[in-house]
Structure 1
């Protein structure tokens, strides 16, 4: 099953697709060898991983990167056709990994919402996980001393959020500047990151991800994150490498400190001039470190 493709600079990988409970999930699957599963966040897609997807196969790895339902080149169902919840995202990823039918543990690379999704799968399937690479993300409920920025709070409002995020594409556009440690990302990154979200109908999942950010125990995603936080220390027995853009306005130094408390043996790299899109800002430093980390004996 093949997904529709549109050529993008820097992203010329063959697209594959699999049916996940009636919805087409697109993914990239390059190379052979130990599998490396990349799980993206919002409002990105597999394009975000292109610097790793283009290099890891040359190191003898199988680089895999799915697009969440509603994101990238996957199907983009309406709200009434798909729940757009964290629990469903974890279930989708579980089904996707089962589809891969791997005969060895995988390496996991996560960013943003890919953290709660990918790590929630990982802590329930520890025997299927080898090494873990974490980029700016959260893997636990919002700490008591942390508040989400006003811009995210506004985007969660029913009318304002719908106009700003779905109709004006403000969340995706804003992330190009607020998500970077630079003034703005380069043209290749801007074009690629925005490409799938070219109409309000294609931004349903982008908005739904923002609305799903849990701020308290009554929010649907909170129990999933609470379960993840409870089991996250189990991953400290695995090799974990962390890459963190220190100019991230949401996943800041405080969130990193909380993550380190859960994973005290993790190898942590801080990038003072990088933002939330840390792999865009600091690929030249991150990619070689990830390649070395994954290639090293366990």
Structure 2
């Protein structure tokens, strides 16, 4: 299913996006190695439930622009989120964020608490949790040599990583695997992956805000796959203990790409969180 429906110029760059539905705005922020495709089985249900859902590919990801001279770090993506909300006329939004999207959500909520109604983080990076050991090895071995990597070698490398994102590895095969590989099936796609994504796998973006998480006062829900191989459950527990009043929902038999392992559960939890009465 193709989720995104158009393009928008935001702060001088092109973002592929979708803006559908009526009601309170909900902004979905994807992770890495991924793009907004990961929300395809979630977003339409939230729209039907009575919300305005905004989904987009981060700069340098998916169908969005891949600039050669623009910062695409978590810090820069956080600033760009503010510009996106301004462009769409959204003063205050609910944020649902996965993986590095969770780092963007944390940083944005701390910098602009008045603009975040609720924050939901799904298998988010945090503290010193990233890059994972397997990605650290890839960075050490491939980051300076990726220009010479063949398409087959790249696909093998990324496929092995993507298979780790689900509890049931049989899910990450055939069409699903190809959908996650699709943005990188060209020399530009391979270069963009390392330059815009992997080069910015750096825990400094979450470590530098970790002592301020206790300042978050909006409702926060943390949802985690119990069998997440990249972001161990201990980080979810740590987040929930440091954020006042945060809910923690742990999903058994699910991994890092919770939206693939348990899409119906993700939809239920988001809907429940968004419709819960104010505390």
TM bucket, shorter chain? 0.7 to 0.9
Measured at CA, do residues 195 and 266 of structure 1 come closer, stay the same or move farther in structure 2, by a change above 3 Å? same
Counterpart in the other structure of 1:232: 213
Q: Does 1:159 align with 2:144?
A: yes
Q: Does 1:257 align with 2:237?
A: yes
Counterpart in the other structure of 2:186: 199
Query: Between Structure 1 and Structure 2, how many residues are aligned?
Result: 274
Measured at CA, do residues 232 and 205 of structure 1 come closer, stay the same or move farther in structure 2, by a change above 3 Å? farther
Please point out which of 89, 103, 106 is paired with 1:116. Answer: 103
Q: Compute the TM-score of the two structures, normalised by the length of structure 2.
A: 0.88
Q: Output the CA distance in 1 between the equivalents of 2:247 and 2:150.
A: 36
For residues 239-263 of structure 1, the C-alpha deviation after alignment (integer angstroms, 9 at most, x for no partner) is: 2122101221220022222212222
Q: Output the CA distance in 1 between the equivalents of 2:200 and 2:44.
A: 32
| Structure 1: gaps of 5 or more residues | 1-9, 216-221
For residues 113-147 of structure 1, the C-alpha deviation after alignment (integer angstroms, 9 at most, x for no partner) is: 1011122112111111111111001233x16xx98
Q: Output the CA distance in 1 between the equivalents of 2:157 and 2:116.
A: 33
Measured at CA, do residues 254 and 74 of structure 1 come closer, stay the same or move farther in structure 2, by a change above 3 Å? same
Counterpart in the other structure of 1:244: 224
Measured at CA, do residues 152 and 165 of structure 1 come closer, stay the same or move farther in structure 2, by a change above 3 Å? farther
Q: How does 1:1-298 map to 2 (within 5 A)?
A: 10-11=1-2, 13=3, 15-78=5-68, 81-103=69-91, 105-140=92-127, 142=128, 148-157=132-141, 158-160=143-145, 168-185=154-171, 187-208=174-195, 209-214=197-202, 222=204, 224-235=205-216, 237-298=217-278
| Structure 2: gaps of 5 or more residues | none
